[in-house]
Each structure stands twice: as C-alpha cells, then as structure tokens.
Amino acid sequence: MAENAPIRNLNRRNSGVNYQPRLLFSLILICSSTMAIRLFWLQIIQGSRYKNLAEENRIRLVARSPMRGRLLARNGETLATNKISYNLYLQPRLVTKDSWPALRDRLSELLNISKEVLDVRFNQPPSETVYRVILATDLTSQQVLRFKENATLLKGAQVDGDVLRQYPYGTLAAHVLGYTQPITKNEYEILSKRGYKLQDRIGRIGVEAAFEEHLRGEWGGQMLEVNALGTVQRSLGQKQSVPGKDLALTIDLKLQIAAEKALSNKSAGAIVALNPNTGAVLAMASKPVFNPNFFSRAFTTQKEYDQLFASSRKPLFNRALNAYDPGSTWKPVTAMAGMETGKFPPNILLKTQGCITYGGHCFPEYNRRGFGKIGYEDALSFSSNTFFYQIGVGVGSNALYAAAKELGFDALTGIEIGYEESKGLVGHQEWAEKGRGWAEPGTTPWIPEDIASASIGQSVVLITPLQLARAYAVFANGGYLVTPHLVDGGIDWSSSKYRTKVNMKETTLETLRRGLRKVVEYGTGAPLNLPHLPPVAGKSGTAEDSSGGRDHAWFACFAPYDSGQIVVVAFAQNTPGGGSVHALPMARQVLEAWKTIDSI
C-alpha cells in the first residue's frame, strides 16, 4: 500500500499537466474568436462607417455657394445683384470660455479688431445657426490674407466668403423685388432635400420668393486632403457652383422712379402703372417702404427688427395688393351693371337730388342739391351719387356682383406674387345671408342700405389698386381682361389663356369710355388737360375708410384715349381732401414720365 502512494501522487501531477495545454488552447481560441468577431464587426459590418470617419479626418469638403441670378428692369438696368463679403466666424464647439481669451487676443492683434467688440460678439445669445458665430464682417483683403497665413494658430476661428444680395437703388421697387434671408433650422429640415444648405439664403417676399427656383442656382465645392495638423496637402477635385439665372422684369425704371417720387409726400399709398394690352406691370410702388439691403447686413439689433416688423406703419406691407374702399372709382362698375341688365340702357336719364332714402338712412348727393336730370356720361363727369344709387338699387346686388366679377374683382389677379395679394370684397345678398364672413348664417341679412353703399364703392366693397388698374385696362383696350404680370418669360400674354373677352355690349363699353373721357374734359380730372399729354380718360374717387380712418384719395386713368397704352392708378391712403386734389397729381407725374419714354 505504502509503495503505491507515490505512484498515485505522480499520476495526479501528470493529470494537471495534461489539462494545461487544453486550457491554454481554449483561452487562445476564445481570444482569437473574439478578435475575429470584432474585426468582422469593424471591417465588414461597420466598415463603411469607420472608413467615412477616417476620410473625414483626412478630407475636408469646402462648399461654394452659387451666385444668385440678377433682377433686371425692362431695359436691362440692374435692380438686384450680388456681392461677396468675407466674414470672421467662431465655431463655438471648438472654443471654450477658458480658451477664448487667448484666441481673442491673437485675433485682435492680427486683424486690428478691438477686444471689446470680439467679446460682445462672443457673448451674444445663441441663434438658430449656433454652429458658428459672426465675429466681424466685411474683412479687407489684407485681413483675410493675415488670417490665412496664421490659420493653424487660430483653432476655432474661420474666415469665409458669403454671397450677399445687393440692391443698388435701395428702397426702389422694394415690395416688387422682395428680399432674401438665411433659412432657419426648421426650413432646412425640409429644404435640405432640395439641395439647400444651412447657410443658404432664400427669397422671402416679392419676385425673390416667387422665382426662388429660377434665381438660386446650385451649390458647388472643393475636396481637399489635409494632414493631422489640418494643413491642406492637395486638392482631390472640385465641382463648380452653378449660378442662378437672371430675371428680366417688366418694370420700367423711369416709371418706377416717377411713381415713388409721386408718393414721396404721402404718408401711405400705392401707384400701379400697367400696359392695358398685355397686362405687363410697368411700375408698382407702395409706401411706407423698406430697404431690402437691411437683410444683407450681418448684424441687426432687436430694436432695428422691431422698427421694421412691429411698426404700426407696416412698411413691409404692399399696399398695391391690399384692399381698400374705392369710392367713386367704382361707379363705372355700377354703370356697367345697369346697362348690361337692360334695366337702365345707355340713353337713360335719371333725376338726381339732394338725397335719397333707402332703409332708415337718407343717402346724400355730395353737393347736397343734385344735378338735375342726367345720363351716364354726365353722371360720371359730375360723379353724381344719387344717379348711381338709383342704378345700383334698381339692378340689385346680384347684377352688381356679376358686373364686378366680369371686371376681375373679388378674385386674385393672377400676378406672380399673388401669395401676398388680397382678393378684396364685393358684398352681395348671398354673402350677407351666409354671415358676411364673421357672423352666423341667417343673422346678417342684406339690407337696402348695403346696396346703396355698394353702388358708390363704399362699406361693403373693398378692392386693391392692382385690381382697379386691371378693370380700367378693360375700358382702355376695347373690352379684354388681362393678366397682370411682372415677368414676360417668353409667354404670349395676349393669348386667350391670359387675355379674355369681357361679356359686355359694345354700347356699354363705349358709353363708359365717353363718360370717363368727360371726367377729364369737364369734370374732376380737368387738371390732366395739358398740351404735353395725350387725351386722358379716368375717374377720381374720395372714399370713406370703412375701418374708421380718414378718407382715401383715388385716381384711375388710361391714355391715350383712342389707343390705350398705359393705365395708371394712384392711391393715397387716409389722405382726406379728394382724389382730384391728392391722387390725380400723383398719376400725372407718372403719365409725364411715360410721355418721355420712346416705347412701352
């Protein structure tokens, strides 16, 4: 027994030695398998991801913004162009409050920018574009060169060139042109799918917005290889940015200048000049106005923004496309309704008087006496209220509404910037019975006072200056309703798609034309009887502001009388005293400028 003990102990030791290789092999196998699985994960499953990350450390993509297309006037004058501004940016994710003072001091010394200014910009509240903060704008070429030479020592700072919109004439035609602004992060989430970048700018109003796709162009860029220090080693290729296309407008620079000058002594208003045969807008001015260059500035204070966006004067509001009470400029519509129904033919004579009672109100003649027994032409020339009360009440609201619709009222005009346009209002019986847009149906019936007011363009009638210009173009061109437009774009605007025959008897049209001519020959438009102007036909209007403000002044006209070539509508908002006193001189200035132009 004792002899077998050493043998058993030896067997146990040999047994332990036999297990060691297996254990070691198993351990090696597990480690190798783990490494193989990890390598498979990194190289096969996640290979493309890590390759991209490695490439991003080695390769830099430098985006190149496209040049936006220019906006040109009818004769080629530049109304909107571009300029390149080199700005100094800070990338907040790369700079801490502790590292900022050292970077600030280097930038201040290198670029000759005060430390105080840099500190203010560094500490400003973060905006939507927090990926970089503007420290300085409009750097000189010398400042840009100094920065480039020392860029490796200025980690977190960046100099970049921005393409900014520039409007050489400042406020001129601002409401037509519009302006551009950087897109927001919310917009970027949608627009990125269409090739926009976060630092992109987009048209906000006017033709800048309406023709965004035409104007914007396509981004390009350059692929650069850099070393571990970020120094550029070589260019790996580039794609040229594609500039946007220029856009020629129908706006005539000389007429636009004249229109804005005519508005200069008015607190608010609008002027529209139109080619009555094609619908081309030759001038469109609105006041108060704004300077679109404001939106190309890198820095604007909250106070400056409030003065523009929160102002009670609403300078961004295009009054040529907003609706107001038209007053007596509406009377041709009532006359058309009377003649077209057959109830009041062109040769009708009606007795006018001091006032006529409808419902519970006596509606007065403006001279409080009347003009005796007169017909359409004299009624327009004298601007008789009681004549047109009788016509409007006699035909009823539906006939008046039908005539208004034929002339393009209570509808958008079709102009390219129609998203800013009001369709106005022409009140009628069905509209009233449905609640007038603010009450329960059946609670606001149509009453006699409504149709009397509507007959002379008051209370329940609201139209835009552009709508009125479009309607008077019908009287000027022989009975066709045209489509106002700001860009010809190779379209045949005289085709039936854009120019439709108004359902109006020839006798109705000629009676209206003769009446509007008499307004200028013998009536309130007489100041336009000037030797240097061709024969003009038109109508003045003084309208009570149904919103409670002071009276509006209007004048709508076309010239020459025999071959209408231009329509002008002048509107002075809340300017009491009469259309012939305030609006007619505005229209005259535009007509005088038009007379000096060779051809339109």
Residue 312, helix vs strand vs coil: coil
Mark which of 229, 248, 267 sits at the end of a domain.
248
Does 47 fall in a domain? Answer: no
Pairing between strand 71-72 and 247-248?
parallel
Please report the sign of the dihedral spanned by the C-alpha atoms of residue 298, residue 304, residue 306, residue 307. negative
Are residue 227 and residue 285 in the same domain, yes or no? no
Residues 475 and 410 in one domain: yes
Of 138-152, 195-209, 429-443, which one has max mean pLDDT? 429-443
Note the pLDDT tens digit of each residue in 194-247: 888 877 889 999 999 999 999 998 877 655 565 555 555 555 566 777 889 999
Residue type present at position 502? V
pLDDT at 22 over 80: no
Q: For residue 104, which phi and psi values (nearest 5 degrees)?
A: -60, -45
Confidence of residue 446 (pLDDT cuts 50, 70, 90): very high
Percent of the chain with pLDDT over 70: 86
Spatial contact of 214 and 245, defined as CB atoms under 8 Å apart = yes
On whether both 322 and 240 belong to a single domain, the answer is no
Does 409 share its domain with 487? yes
- Position 41 scores a pLDDT of 62
Predicted TM-score (pTM) of the model is: 0.83
pLDDT tier, 260 (very low <50, low <70, confident <90, very high otherwise): very high
* Over residues 327-346, mean pLDDT: 98
CATH number at residue 428: 3.40.710.10
Asked whether residue 293 falls in the same domain as residue 401, the answer is: yes
Q: Are 332 and 515 in contact (CB under 8 A)?
A: yes
Looking at residue 84, what is its pLDDT?
A: 83
Q: Is the pLDDT of residue 8 over 70?
A: no
The least confident of 115-129, 199-213, 343-357, 460-474 is 115-129
Confidence band, pLDDT 50/70/90 cuts, at residue 529:
very high
Q: Would residue 23 count as lying in a domain?
A: no
Question: 167 and 109, same structural domain?
Answer: yes
Give residue-wise pLDDT tens across range 50-78: 555 455 455 555 566 788 999 999 999 99
Mean pLDDT of all residues belonging to the chain: 88
Q: Tell me, what's the pLDDT at 330?
A: 98
Look at residue 579 and tell me whether its pLDDT is greater than 90. yes
Among residues 180, 210, 228, 226, the alpha carbon closest in space to that of 82 is found at 180
Residue 480 domain flag: yes
Give the model's confidence band at 128: pLDDT under 50 very low, under 70 low, under 90 confident, else very high.
Answer: very low
- Domain at 136, CATH number: 3.90.1310.10
Structural domain containing residue 531: 253-595
Q: Are residues 271 and 187 in the same domain?
A: no
In a domain, 17, yes or no: no
Q: What are the angstrom distances between the C-alpha of 66 and each of 166, 244, 245, 491?
A: 15, 7, 11, 27
